[in-house]
Amino acid sequence: MEDISQSNTNAQQDTPIPNDDTTKVVQDAEIIEQATNPEGLDSMWLRWKCLNCGYLYEGVKEVKKCPRCGNENPDLFSDAD
């Protein structure tokens, strides 16, 4: 019987107990989640296709220059939504 009670005591000691550091990590993760996924992001998300080289740009800012071929002609960009 002693062995069983000792193994239960050891099992309880192996279980991590949340502390302030764990709570801070969770809070930081929530802050990062809110900053990287703000509400309404889908409505701001843009997709543009360069008609010169076919590059597909996705982002929140309108593309002025194709990162692949350097195209700056606005007539050679198409809304890819």
Q: Residue 62 belongs to a domain with what CATH number?
A: 2.20.28.10
Domain count, the chain: 1
Q: How far apart are CA 32 and CA 40, in angstroms?
A: 16
Q: What is the pLDDT of residues 6-55, one digit of tens each?
A: 555 555 556 666 556 656 666 666 666 555 555 555 557 788 899 999 99
pLDDT band at 68, cuts 50/70/90? very high
Amino acid identity for residue 41 in this structure: L
Q: Within the chain, where are the H helices?
A: 2-14, 20-36, 41-44
71 band by pLDDT with thresholds 50, 70 and 90: very high
pLDDT, residue 40, reads: 55
Is 27 part of any domain?
no
1 vs 63, which has greater pLDDT? Answer: 63
Beta strands 56-59 and 46-50 are antiparallel
Residue 50 counted as domain residue: yes
